[in-house]
Amino acid sequence: MKKYSVAVVGTGAVGQTLLEILAERNFPVGSLKLLATSRSAGKVVSFKGQDYTIEETRPQSFDGVDLALFAGGEASKEFAAAAVHHGAVVIDNSSTFRLNQEVPLVVPEVNPEDVRWHKGIIANPNCSTIQMVVALKPLHDAARIRRIIVSTYQAVSGAGQEAMEELVVQTRQVLDNQPIAPRAFAHPIAFNLIPHIDVFLENDYTKEEMKMVNETRKMFHDDSIAISATTVRVPVLRSHSESISIETERKLSALEAREILRGAPGIVVVDEPVAMRYPMPIETSNRDEVFVGRIREDVSCEKGLCLWVVADQLRKGAATNAIQIAELLIKEQML
């Protein structure tokens, strides 16, 4: 099997998870570069039993690299073009290129065909969007979705390692009746919910909410779908949950929807309400599948369905999806 020169740009939670999944999936890595800011340069990271020293990211860092996996942040704005110039295919986890019409936005279970028109950069969608579209695309193909209402319950790890540490520290502080000084979030997160992720826009939706609207339409190739999102940060360490209501052109029964989802790639249906079995973050963390349950017909809408969707946003919502795109490029002989 052909092997590839791979660069991972970023050493935070997503960057670390990228390395884990490259190893788990036995991706054909011939050589590996770990790139980050000057602050992280010089640190040593182990990959498959071998130590690698993190280098400061520079334009020339991508010389000889076949695949550049950008973990997110500002690096892609500064270095993605240089990576492409040096011959690498970039898979970018930031929001920089997601709505660029020259850049495909891809979830392999949803729109794999779009990788074929990339021009050097492929964007990885937002974590909350990824798990939603994996769950909804099979239903859209079966009955065409006209409207989506989604409320998210997003784990603190979506905001990075500092946010995870803050939740742990604040939980202890609250239980010990100590004062709290929020840093990662605008408000205390322990024992609290914050209905605010990313900045507010002129329409009073947040940027995170509008990502779900615009990215879904782009990947479904359908700007006519009506979508409204409310994104909420919750005191959970890992795995995002979503309550989703859809309206379709053709009525889907809950039974039909379950059967469609059971046969769809990347989905695990956990829907046994009598036995109190439904997806939960505690059972979906460190998994790559999207878990769907609470599938029921919407009593307020003749052609409506309600679903509960949970997935590990560091894996399927970020790193796993990026590696799956890379695997798709190999399958299509485009890497």
Q: What pLDDT is stored for residue 114 in this prediction?
A: 98
Q: What pLDDT is stored for residue 1 in this prediction?
A: 82
Whether residues 165 and 53 fall in one domain: no
Give me the domain span that covers residue 64. 4-125+318-331
Whether residues 170 and 268 fall in one domain: yes
Check which CATH number belongs to the domain holding 162 and give it: 3.30.360.10
Catalytic residue among 118, 127, 140, 306: 127
Whether residues 136 and 44 fall in one domain: no
Nearest-angstrom CA–CA distance, 182 and 185: 6
Residue among 309, 312, 306 nearest 285 (CA): 312
Whether residues 82 and 136 fall in one domain: no
Note the pLDDT tens digit of each residue in 167-178: 999 999 999 999
Whether residues 267 and 152 fall in one domain: yes
Whether residues 29 and 100 fall in one domain: yes
Whether residues 144 and 14 fall in one domain: no
Note the pLDDT tens digit of each residue in 72-100: 889 999 999 999 999 999 999 999 999 99
Catalytic residue among 187, 196, 221, 240: 240
Q: What pLDDT is stored for residue 161 in this prediction?
A: 85
**Which residues, in sequence order, are CB contacts of 152 under 8 Å at separation 6+?**
128, 197, 212, 229, 230, 231, 232, 240, 241, 242, 243
Please report, rounded to a whole number, the percentage of residues in the chain having pLDDT higher than 70.
Answer: 100
User: Please, is 7 exposed, middle or buried when counting C-beta atoms within 10 Å of its C-beta (0-12, 13-18, 19+)?
Assistant: buried
Q: Judge whether residue 130 has pLDDT over 90.
A: yes
* Token representation of residue 238: 């890992």
Count of structural domains, the chain: 2
Whether residues 15 and 75 fall in one domain: yes
240 catalytic? Reply is yes
272 forms bridges with which residues in the sheet?
A: 277
- Mean pLDDT across 266-270: 98
User: Please, is 253 exposed, middle or buried when counting C-beta atoms within 10 Å of its C-beta (0-12, 13-18, 19+)?
Assistant: exposed
pTM over 0.85? The answer is yes
Q: How does the average pLDDT of the chain come out, rounded? A: 97
Whether residues 136 and 275 fall in one domain: yes
Q: What angle do CA 111, 115, 120 make, to 5 degrees?
A: 150
Whether residues 243 and 152 fall in one domain: yes
Whether residues 160 and 270 fall in one domain: yes
